[in-house]
Amino acid sequence: MIRGFLVRLGEGALTLLVIVSLSFFMQRLAPGGPFDHERELPPETRRALEAEWGLDRPLGEQFLGYLGGIFRLPPDLKRSMTRPDFGVTELIAPRLAVSLSLGLVVLLFSLVLGIGLGALAAARRNGFLDHAVMALALLGLALPNFVIGPLLKWVFAIELGWLPESRWVSPASMVLPVLATSALYVAIIARMVRSGLVAALGQDFVRAARARGFSERRVLLVHALPAALAPVIAWLGPAAAGLAVGSVVIERVFDIPGLGNTLIDAAFNRDYTMVMGAVIVYSAILIALNLLADLLLLRVDPRIGERR
């Protein structure tokens, strides 16, 4: 298990290096730059700015210099090119906190509701509740959040006035973004749990539990459900990483000052250092949570480690 963990850790570090490299060179090769404005800068001013930020050096030298900064302790993510009075870390930290809070609330809500609905559907297999839950799950899968978000905002905030339109400042302002973001995740979890439980309920260990006289509720929740959660845990790594750094669409729709919103603004402004900082944070969280999901999966089903 330790050897497998170290291998996965090495793979994660290599993946992060590849992502950083691709992001760096793709930005430099894209048209435009951080000093391209509606009003053309005088040539001497542009040369001075490029020299200040090292953009006049060869591309390979710029890349090695940037790598040297991010692999220090603590990492140096440079200053923002469009807001040079602030460091990238200083600007990202509060926005990451907002995205993390959104992701955590959505994840907990999705797990509780998705597992509950999936277990309910499996317990009432082929009945009305089963078909109703699966129909709702199909609807959640079919409707993207860029449709659900504006629709919820228009109905419950603009037309009915029951909830705030935007921001992330109070429990009431969190309701619509959480509902819009979690619809897909609730649907996926409910379907996986239902499928896993239906398969687990036909296994020998479940029949043995029933033969020992345990109630159907205990058989379902204590014996079958842990086995059914293995696919959910495997899926949880990338899903949690996406939630941890927020939904770009939802942050835009509800004007949430999270990291996704910041990344879009930085990309439009060609703020190289801010884009790189956001990409590094996104990637590091994704890799770390995938690794954590693997460890949790080994905990739930140690046979996975034996097969690897």
Phi, psi of 79 (to 5 degrees): -100, 160
**Mean pLDDT for back-to-back runs of 10 residues, the chain (308 residues):** 74 90 89 74 83 87 89 85 90 90 91 91 87 92 89 92 84 91 92 86 76 77 78 78 72 87 87 91 84 70 51
> How many domains, the chain?
2
Is the pTM higher than 0.85? The answer reads no
Domain assignment present for residue 112? The answer is yes
State the amino acid at position 196 in one-letter form: G
182 and 280 fall within a common domain: yes
* 8 Å CB contact between 38 and 290: no
Domain assignment present for residue 78? The answer is no
Domain assignment present for residue 157? The answer is yes
Domain assignment present for residue 86? The answer is no
The total number of residues shown for the chain amounts to: 308
46 and 104 fall within a common domain: no
Query: For position 35, what pLDDT does the model report?
Result: 79
Query: For position 264, what pLDDT does the model report?
Result: 86
149 and 298 fall within a common domain: yes
Domain assignment present for residue 85? The answer is no
Residues 6+ apart with CB under 8 A from 118: 133, 189, 190, 191, 192, 193, 194, 196, 197, 228
* 8 Å CB contact between 30 and 293: no
20 and 136 fall within a common domain: no
Query: For position 114, what pLDDT does the model report?
Result: 93
Query: For position 88, what pLDDT does the model report?
Result: 92
Q: What DSSP character marks residue 42?
A: P
Element (H, E) at 31: none
Domain assignment present for residue 24? The answer is yes
23 and 118 fall within a common domain: no
Domain assignment present for residue 46? The answer is yes
Q: Which residue range is the domain that position 62 belongs to?
A: 2-70
* 8 Å CB contact between 130 and 121: yes
Per-residue pLDDT tens over the stretch 12-60: 889 999 999 999 999 888 887 787 765 677 888 888 888 888 888 898 9
110 and 30 fall within a common domain: no
40 and 178 fall within a common domain: no
Domain assignment present for residue 81? The answer is no
User: The tokens of 272 are what?
Assistant: 């190289």
12 and 131 fall within a common domain: no
